[in-house]
Structure 1
């Protein structure tokens, strides 16, 4: 564990662990309101717990060794849980996040070349250009300090980076207002419905999501129009078509590759959710460092020094360790995907290094929750505190690979992890080089779980030009 010499490190807002066993009604109300508020002290203090709810047994897993066993060593015995499928599949269908079996294998294999670390680094120049253009908008507004919703702004920025890098800015949607559409989609479609808790079949109506169908249909219309326009270009002017993610997917369309519906689902996954996780972490990061002026100044000096050398953006990820550490600490405290849900296909058993046996029943729901794991007292010093130094190069080897899971692990690890880290460092460097982000009287964010960990009501912050 890494010791913190500050007497009172900043503890950003988060639900306090429950100290009593909730009733069934209280559990349902809490899950519908905000699942992050459900977890009690055992989830933050014990390596694993077996519970029962609505006749469904659950194994809550925090031990890094057991996590490794489930996600890596015996991953073939664990599928996405029924509840998770009931929430996600209506939105993403057979996209990479929700596909199973052969469909997932085909999709993952098809997309892997785009997201290799070497290929991802090739996007650095585009990420820089988009971030600078975004900064120009702030520049025009910042003759005087102004207040803006950072959560919305970061969604717009990461969407613009996504469209430029993976779709060559040829998505059939107006950028203006797109962040609001994403917000509406996640609020309406990304929440748990009572019928999900009862594991009711998909055909049973989910009343909490009825209003989200129009938004989802709007997104699917965007995908269909985007695919149609690119197909037209591929047929009419094949030599001028961008060699990007969209073209790659459409080139794989056919009996031996991906079906038309699978391509549509994956495009929707990246347009609707592929940028959202990075956006949320960027907003939380800017909020946290605004509460730590000394560390923010360290970041600013590091950014200014690297930029003064003329270093190419492809080098920034390695040359800005304090910037990267702040972003990774934000990912720890506010993991964009706060839960990983699996179910045991067959009965299983794991034995700890100390010889303790953990039986895993057939069909049991296995909950690996970055939200509780990243705040667990067994694995982190001052787990609720924002301490970016945990992730500086000299301290990284003290963190077990399976106690920190912002991108998951195993075969289904996030395909865009390198892309996201590079994008975040470049965006933070560009923005923090020009501007300083400060708190306002209205800056009181509260984390809520939808598909991602979102600040309830947005995240207002004051933006002002940095004095140079």
Structure 2
């Protein structure tokens, strides 16, 4: 008789049994787009809607169709209008939102930072910042893990990509990040209705002060580094910030493009990893048998392997728990494209101008692609099982030419952070721990993640 515990099923909206009215849809998309999707989105290969708000729409769930849109015929699919209206006011010509030649220049300028050699070089600072952060905890204290992971990943990003030279203070930064994504990082109803750009969006008006805060941090950070470059060019770290500043010029990046990419990495670049770490700690707390396995692995590796570069390889269960948390709560819940010209896939006709939604939220929970898709089951991602997962059914970092440039950085960072935190502390849910996933710029836990921290 099987005596193993039933898998933990973390909170998520139930698929809708009937489509919402237009007014309901606008309200849902503004409040929490994750609550919009109905049963077909979790069962069908694709859904094609020829008319409605925003025009023709294709929701792509089939890994082969996703591959066509993001890889095989990627040149025919530009960034979708609604997505750009949400992100461009924040990130402007940063790597996530830039297109064409601007995107190519930015990607080329950043590529040297994210080579395996450079990323491995970040492991030591990642370990040190994680250890320093862990020292803040008091045995038995209840903390908001969601906020803490935002602060930890900020510390790591500041130390690695900016060599500890981001202007401003981490605590106020974390608070401002939350406010920025609460105001500007969400769909405005006027965008859905196709209202002209000159009509003010209330959500973005509320975020202007926070946006000014970020712009000032960037201006101060750039000024600090430029002063150092002038004073001692050979004594400046060859990090992300220096490489961007050295790429400035007529054949490289403009000054505004550099600002936009710094904002992209300070804001969105660390936010995604922070959310995934928070959800991982929550899921492990609610599935203690999985946590036991991860803790045993971490104890063995951290005791015998001093080099954090090797942790990612030697901690498959820890990595699997993190990847499973990203499956259930993908940091970026949607990937939006727009057809430049008509396209066909099997018997699906994609008209020119159609909006294409690749939804990691629904693809990761699709009933034809996963066994027990709503359950937290890290074993799916253990090395012996990975071959069963199609490359295009698991998309936490996207795919194709615009795949996240920092994916390897994030994976190394996450395993090192989990290795440090879980070797010292156990995180348990409390009565107030009732997170609800909400899609803003990332998949966030509404109400935070209050958890009790106990020394192991």
TM range (shorter): over 0.9
Structure 2 counterpart of 1:409:
399
Counterpart-to-counterpart distance in 2, 1:135 and 1:409: 33
Asked if 2 retains the 8 angstrom alpha-carbon contact of 1:50 and 1:57, the reply is yes
**Structure 1 outlier segments of 4+, above 3 Å:** 4-7
1:345-360, aligned counterparts within 5 Å?
345-351=340-346, 357-360=347-350
Counterpart-to-counterpart distance in 1, 2:188 and 2:253: 31
Q: Would the alpha carbon gap of residues 75 and 25 (structure 1) be closer, same or farther in structure 2, given more than 3 Å must change?
A: same
List runs of 5+ in structure 2 lacking aligned partners.
Answer: none
3-state DSSP of counterpart to 1:137:
coil
Structure 2 counterpart of 1:124:
123
- Residue 179 (structure 2) pairs with residue 184 (structure 1): yes
RMSD: 1.1
1:8 CA displacement: 2.2
Counterpart-to-counterpart distance in 1, 2:3 and 2:11: 21
Q: Would the alpha carbon gap of residues 310 and 219 (structure 1) be closer, same or farther in structure 2, given more than 3 Å must change?
A: same
Aligned length: 454
Structure 1 counterpart of 2:370:
380
1:109 CA displacement: 1.0
3-state DSSP of counterpart to 1:177:
helix
Structure 1 counterpart of 2:85:
86
Asked if 2 retains the 8 angstrom alpha-carbon contact of 1:82 and 1:199, the reply is no
Q: Identify the match of residue 338 of structure 1 among 333, 340, 358.
A: 333
3-state DSSP of counterpart to 1:275:
helix
Counterpart-to-counterpart distance in 2, 1:50 and 1:428: 41
Q: Which moved more, 1:326-335 or 1:185-194?
A: 185-194
- Residue 49 (structure 2) pairs with residue 54 (structure 1): no
3-state DSSP of counterpart to 1:54:
coil
Counterpart-to-counterpart distance in 2, 1:245 and 1:272: 15
1:229 CA displacement: 1.2
- Output the TM-score relative to the length of structure 1: 0.96
- Superposed CA deviations along residues 142-179 of structure 1, whole A, max 9, x for unmatched, are 2xx11000000000000000000000010111122221
Counterpart-to-counterpart distance in 2, 1:31 and 1:437: 33
Counterpart-to-counterpart distance in 1, 2:54 and 2:285: 45
1:6 CA displacement: 4.6
- Residue 421 (structure 2) pairs with residue 431 (structure 1): yes
Structure 2 counterpart of 1:354:
none
- Superposed CA deviations along residues 120-144 of structure 1, whole A, max 9, x for unmatched, are 1211011000000001111xx22xx
Structure 2 counterpart of 1:198:
193
- Output the TM-score relative to the length of structure 2: 0.98
- Superposed CA deviations along residues 309-345 of structure 1, whole A, max 9, x for unmatched, are 1330000000000000000000000000000000000
Counterpart-to-counterpart distance in 1, 2:63 and 2:237: 43
Counterpart-to-counterpart distance in 2, 1:450 and 1:181: 15
Structure 1 counterpart of 2:273:
278
- Residue 263 (structure 2) pairs with residue 268 (structure 1): yes
1:118 CA displacement: 2.8
Structure 1 counterpart of 2:437:
447
- Residue 456 (structure 2) pairs with residue 457 (structure 1): no
1:359 CA displacement: 1.1
1:55 CA displacement: 5.0
3-state DSSP of counterpart to 2:136:
helix
List runs of 5+ in structure 1 lacking aligned partners.
Answer: 352-356
- Superposed CA deviations along residues 46-73 of structure 1, whole A, max 9, x for unmatched, are 0000123225111000000010011000
Counterpart-to-counterpart distance in 2, 1:93 and 1:251: 20
